[in-house]
Chain A
Amino acid sequence: MQEFAVILVSSILINNYVLVQFLGLCPFMGVSNKLESAIGMAAATTFVLTLTAMASYIVNAIVLEPLGLIYLRTIAFILVIAAVVQFTKMFIEKTSPLLYRVLGVFLPLITTNCAVLGVALQNTSKDLNFTQSSLYGFGAGVGFSLVLILFSAMRERLAAADVPESFKGAAIAMITAGLMSLAFMGFSGLV
């Protein structure tokens, strides 16, 4: 039980994929303009991260390692991610139109989210078992959601704030992201 808690804290706060490892920055900057869309993106990414962490573990353990094809991990995982994302999209579209309306447009974007591939690759290099991998994927998703939602809430506030002319828009967003990243570095001594 304690081990699971350590994995979650580690993936959410200490090794936060966006602010500490700098993976998945494109949606972090791109989809954070509005809180509503940030929540949709966060939910979709968490969902896909957990699923791909599981699926890539299975592919790695059943296909790649027994055949000695570890060097094919990257391309095999990209294949897995693309298939899982597309399957998830179809499944949600059919079973829950409401959820599809919230997540729909964001799902294809996740295919190219480097945090997803990062989690899958790190899971194999850390030699985690199936439960640990899926928990790690879930934790990475929650961490991504946390910073994305916090950041978009800040950007909504910034849009109404009196920012100096030359810092308006992307510039102040970059500065904010940098300050958030500094704050998250403070978690490094937690465990």
Chain B
Amino acid sequence: MIELIAQHPIFAALIALVSLAILFGGLLGFAAEKFKVEGDPIVEQIDELLPQTQCGQCGFPGCRPYAESIANGDKINKCPPGGQSTINAIANLLAVPAPELDAEHGEESEVRTVAFIREDECIGCTKCIQACPVDAILGAAKLMHTVIADECTGCDLCVEPCPVDCIDMLPIEETIADWTWPIPTKPGQIIATDRRGVLTPAGHREDAA
């Protein structure tokens, strides 16, 4: 055996490489068993980015099933409550180009809204309670209903089933607590040292207005 190897160095090469490959293969196979991870971490990450309104406008029964579907290759632009910012965040996570929101599934509202029930018109039919995906509507049959504003995600799903049209979607007013500075639009204004003057295309420095 040793003689054979000494005479034909190709056998030494073959044996060395094959045994290395088997060694590493075994190591990886062992590691795959030993370090098995339960669940799919990418689904968790996508689910975290989705707005958790559970509104079903994407065509899935909730945010989690949609996250699973995205992980399996579904389109990422089916979430109107999340809007463009959610699409961008998911595109960033999955390293794919960010598409526009799919109009088929609804439009992104400009301002965040909250449902409001005109309580003297409510007949207590409980239809909106059944529609609400986050259990934000309180009430019982033949008794007046009301919306818990903090729980309401503004998904519009309760407006359609109401037989007396007593539900309004009211915009959430901006308060001092949640107001933020507007993002600067001029590229030259972002960097502190560039703020004194902007460089014109011709290369002349002129003072910014």
B170 within 8 A of A: no
A75 within 8 A of B: yes
B190→A160 contact, CB < 8 A? yes
B37 within 8 A of A: yes
A22 within 8 A of B: no
B26-64: CB near A (< 8 Å → 1, else 0) gives: 011001101111000100010000000000000000000
Given the complex of chains A and B, what is the CA–CA distance between A59 and B36 in angstroms?
Answer: 27
Chain B interface residue count, Cβ-Cβ cutoff 8 angstroms: 27
Nearest-neighbour CB distance to chain A for B2, whole angstroms, equals: 12
A83→B28 contact, CB < 8 A? yes
Which chain B residues numbered 9 to 40 have a C-beta less than 8 Å away from chain A?
A: 9, 12-13, 16-17, 20-21, 24, 27-28, 31-32, 34-37
B198 within 8 A of A: yes
B35→A80 contact, CB < 8 A? no
A67→B16 contact, CB < 8 A? yes
A164 within 8 A of B: yes
A6 within 8 A of B: no
A170 within 8 A of B: no
Given the complex of chains A and B, what is the CA–CA distance between A52 and B201 in angstroms?
Answer: 49
Chain A interface residue count, Cβ-Cβ cutoff 8 angstroms: 30
B178-189: CB near A (< 8 Å → 1, else 0) gives: 000000000110
Contacts of B35 in A (CB 8 A): 90-91, 93-95
Given the complex of chains A and B, what is the CA–CA distance between A79 and B198 in angstroms?
Answer: 53
- Select A161's contact among B9, B13, B32, B187, beta carbons within 8 Å: B187
B24→A80 contact, CB < 8 A? yes
Say whether, besides A91-B31, A100-B41, A162-B198, A69 and B16 are in contact (CB < 8 Å).
yes
Given the complex of chains A and B, what is the CA–CA distance between A95 and B95 in angstroms?
Answer: 25
Contacts of B31 in A (CB 8 A): 86-87, 90-91
B143 within 8 A of A: no
26 A-B contact pairs sorted by A residue (CB < 8 Å): A59-B20, A63-B16, A64-B16, A67-B12, A69-B12, A72-B16, A76-B16, A76-B20, A80-B24, A83-B24, A83-B27, A83-B28, A86-B28, A86-B31, A87-B27, A90-B32, A90-B35, A91-B31, A93-B35, A93-B37, A94-B37, A160-B190, A160-B191, A161-B191, A162-B188, A162-B199
Interface residues in chain A, defined as those with a beta carbon under 8 Å from any beta carbon in chain B? 59, 63-64, 67-69, 72, 75-76, 79-80, 82-83, 86-87, 90-91, 93-95, 97, 100-101, 104-105, 157, 160-162, 164
